[in-house]
Structure 1
Amino acid sequence: MRFILPVLAAGVATATPLAIMADSFIKRGVPSTINYSQMTLYGGFELAYNLTGDEKYASWYRSQIDALVLNDGTIKGWDYGKYSLDNYRMGNNLLYWYWKTGEAKYKSAASIVRQQINRHPRTATGGFWHRNPEYPNQMWLDGIFMADSFYAKWTKYFDEKNTTAWDDIALQYDNIEAHTRNAKTGLLVHGYDESKVAVWADPVTGAAPLVWNRAVGWYFMALLEVIQVWPQSHPARGRLIGYFTTLATALKKTQDESGGWWLIMDRKYAGAKGNYIESSGSAMFTYGFLKGIKLGLLDRDQYLAPAQKGYNLLADKYVVEKDDGTVDWEGTVEVGSLNSNATFEVTLPKDPDEDENADILQYYTSVPLAVNDYKGAGPFMYASYEIETL
């Protein structure tokens, strides 16, 4: 559907794409869990509230978080022995409610996540394992978004003079850059295995073979989040901005003429059988362009037109109006994982006459699409906010 952009009534935006999407999820309901997918969606509710001032968005969002945070500041069902970066994303949402309400229970809950980061297993060079014990010595682009934005926000507001912490956060970005960035294309592959033993790992570099769009999208957004809280005086600031702007350049070059981005972004797979324009990564990149312009990191003259083209595709193709007045979000792949048990070849055995990475491509493109997936709808809401406040 093509959205009509905001109508202003008494200074309040009404019937905006962002508000319509938020209203739709409230009506459908969202299970309250610590999953990063929900936490990503909830970020859109923060923006819906900022845009409209409508307390229903804050009230609904808070009820979702309060179903997880107990009055004593503990997190319902939190497993202190589980070390998965995915679970740390909720720290950002907990800090939002602490800053908004001043209630100690939210800070206490966030401190549980922060302390878990201190204990999290690391590679020999200091990078966080994506998950223990499933992915030993592996760093994924996804994990940077899940853990390091929160790590930086906590340090900014509660431990700002801790240069060791800032150095440690920078190390996570530096590690992922050193092992996954392709200097020629400017894009980053999904992750790397520092021990180089995973079935997919390059025997020399440990890098994964392919560029998966949502992993790159998580990383693109994580850079934006961390740059906004990074100390001006810390030497890594310039590096982080460079990581963001060089990635933006690469993304502008790989944007499809439709306005979106391919699920598998390696140039030789653009248009390949089974590959397709995927909505979550496209929303993340569109948002990143718009937010980068707003923060002064990207040139408006170069990036606004690609961003608007991307947004028009998202609104026209992936937002579907329903008879009950709600909208569905479509075109988001359910998952993409660097699973280390060789299941990449399950769907179709590797054909020795085909490209050596054909089995990996088949893994990614064989994963089904989901309707109303929070990992895509959330970033679309972020992009909508940026469009609506341009």
Structure 2
Amino acid sequence: MINNKKNILVSVLLICTMVFTNSKLIAQEQVNKDIVIAKNLKWSDKMTLTLMKRHPEAYMIDDSKTPKWDYVHGLVLHGIEELYKKNPDPRYKAYVRGYVDALVQEDGTINTYELDKYNIDLVVPGRLLFDVYATTKEEKYLKALQLLRKQLSEQPRTKSGGFWHKQIYPNQMWLDGLYMGEPFYAQYTVTFEDGKNLDDVAKQFEQIQLHATDPKTGLLYHGWDESKEMPWANKETGNSPNFWSRALGWYAMALVDVLDYFPKEHPKQKELVKYLNSVSASLAKYQDQSGLWYQVTDKGGKEGNYLEASGSSMFAYAFAKGANKGYLPAKYKKLANKAFDGLTQQLIKTDADGGITLTQACQVAGLGGKPYRDGSYDYYVNEKKKDNDPKATGPFILAALELNR
């Protein structure tokens, strides 16, 4: 009899939980369906409201069916977090918080995150936790931050001290990884460790700058294999064979974002500013008259190459923020505005509901793995494209904010 009552009580509680969860989801979906995207909005708001309307819950970004701790969500939601600082629309804050709370458990573990894969991509969504923890002071968010910090403490490294991109990519640093790991690392060490590991943050840039920079163009190759054993790696330098605009974009964004945490008097600050100036000057030479950049950065006119949205958005953001902060000369703000004009005039389509679609974004590209990616020109230009790919929409929001467009 007691067991029966217990079972009934458990069933009632389960039903109540399901009803509450479903009604919350329905309410959120209703809020998002009611979103009106006015013509006179700034581009940052237009893109954010478009994404919220198309993806009622933030975990649905990139067409995800279930909540997943992923770098693309970290990138886009960081952009929305920055937008909220300038336009404190409560819907923006709730959207970001919804993602964090769908994944961070009461004990501080993170659903779908696997520490032992040492995948540096999975550190970047941790940037969303700083503000949530500062606002709520709830211990679960601090524990989640500490868990990601633990990954960086244990992340396998090259002999020269650079973080491997992933456990499955031994001895390799990719430009992407600088954005995935370093802004979080810099913010964490400044927030919780009195900045004691800023030298180690700078070391990551030093390594990739030293090993992956092409002396002729000043551009950086997508990946560097210290062992020089990967079939894609140059047997003398260890570098991959081509310049990919998005990889260079990750690198430029990483530099402008980590500099937020380097005091001017820090011995490595000037060095990072120098790297930013160097890569920006090289990229400026390859900006197309449209304002955009090609998928394979230095091969503008070659058959199959195309003007690509994510790299162009990333460069627009890095140039604009770099100029706004005084790291780059003022002329880079003009180049950023030219790039943004190219994006809005050539690659943006306006949908029937006022929402916007950013076209011509490479969906994904990498090196090695299965099926094997050889880093060749043909490989990069033949990877699939995706409209409103988050690797383009996130930087687009950030660029719009820096340019106040």
TM class by shorter chain equals 0.7 to 0.9
Counterpart secondary structure, 1:124:
coil
Does the 8 Å contact 2:324/2:333 carry over to 1?
no
State how 1:357-376 maps to structure 2 within 5 Å. 360-376=376-392
**Whole-angstrom distance in 1 between the partners of 2:173 and 2:214:** 16
Contact 1:35 1:86 in 2 (8 A): yes
User: Do 2:222 and 2:247's aligned partners in 1 also have CA atoms closer than 8 Å?
Assistant: yes
SS in structure 1 at match of 2:224: strand
Query: 1:303, 1:241 → 2: CA distance?
Result: 14
Instruction: Tell me by how many angstroms 1:77 deviates.
Output: 2.6
Kept in 1, the 8 Å contact 2:119–2:167? The answer is yes
Correspondence for 1:26 = 52
For residues 7-59 of structure 1, the C-alpha deviation after alignment (integer angstroms, 9 at most, x for no partner) is xxxxxx97221111111111111244211011101012112212221111101
C-alpha distance in structure 2 between counterparts of 1:190 and 1:146, whole Å = 14
- Residues 180-199 of structure 1, C-alpha deviations (whole Å, 9 max, x = no match): 11233221010100000011
Equivalent-residue separation in structure 2 for 1:285 and 1:329 (angstroms): 16
Deviation per residue, 1:83-131 (Å, 9 max, x gap): 1111111121111322343333222211110001111111111111111
Which structure has more helix as a fraction of its residues?
2
Give 5+ residue unaligned stretches, structure 1: 1-12, 346-358
| Equivalent in the alignment of 2:83 | 48
Q: For residues 97 and 19 of structure 1, do their structure 2 counterparts lie closer, same or farther at Cα, with a shift above 3 Å needed? A: same
Alpha carbons 1:199, 1:341 under 8 Å: kept:
no
Distance 1:298 1:166 in 2: 21
The aligned runs of 1:15-164 (5 Å cut-off) are 15-29=41-55, 30=60, 31=64, 32-133=67-168, 135-162=169-196
- The higher radius of gyration belongs to 2
What RMSD over aligned residues (CA atoms) do the two structures have, in Å?
Answer: 1.8
Counterpart amino acid of 1:40?
L
Distance, in Å, in 2 between the alignment partners of 1:131 and 1:285 is: 25
- Structure 1 residues 161 and 275: CA distance shift in structure 2, 3 A: closer
1:338-369 deviation digits (Å, cap 9, x = unpaired): 11568346xxxxxxxxxxxxx80000111010
For residues 33 and 41 of structure 1, the distance between their equivalents in structure 2, rounded to whole angstroms, comes to: 14
Call closer, same or farther: CA 1:344–1:63 in 2, change over 3 Å: closer
Moved more, 243-252 or 68-77: 68-77
Q: Distance in 2 between matches of 1:79 and 1:286?
A: 33
Which whole-Å CA distance do the structure 2 matches of 1:53 and 1:273 have between them?
A: 45
Aligned to 1:288: 318
TM-score by length of 2: 0.85
Residue matched to 1:380: 396
Q: Which of 305, 310, 313 lines up with 2:342 in the alignment?
A: 313
Could you tell me which residue of structure 2 aligns to residue 356 of structure 1?
none
Paired residues for 1:187-198 under 5 Å: 187-198=219-230
Q: Which range moved further: 323-332 or 305-314?
A: 323-332
> Once structures 1 and 2 are overlaid, which stretch shifts more, 314-323 or 371-380?
314-323
Aligned equivalent of 1:213: 245
Q: CA, structure 1 residues 291+277, in 2 after alignment: closer, same or farther (shift >3 Å)?
A: same
Q: Distance in 2 between matches of 1:213 and 1:235?
A: 30
Q: Secondary structure at the match of 1:207?
A: coil
Do the aligned residues in 1 keep the contact of 2:186 with 2:195 (CA within 8 Å)? no
Aligned equivalents of 1:168, 1:286: Cα separation in 2: 28
Which residue does the alignment assign to 2:21? none
**Which position in structure 2 is the counterpart of 1:167?**
199
Three-state SS of the structure 2 residue aligned to 1:192 is strand
Q: Deviations over 1:278-305 (max 9, x none)?
A: 00000000111111111011222x2222
- How does the TM-score come out when normalised to structure 1? 0.88
Query: Contact 2:178–2:205 (CA<8 Å) still a contact in 1?
Result: yes
Q: Is the 8 A contact 1:344 1:362 kept in 2?
A: no
What are structure 2's unaligned runs of at least 5 residues? 1-38
Letter in 1 for 2:126: G
Distance (whole Å) between structure 1 residues aligned to residue 138 and residue 358 of structure 2: 34
**Equivalenced residues, count:** 358
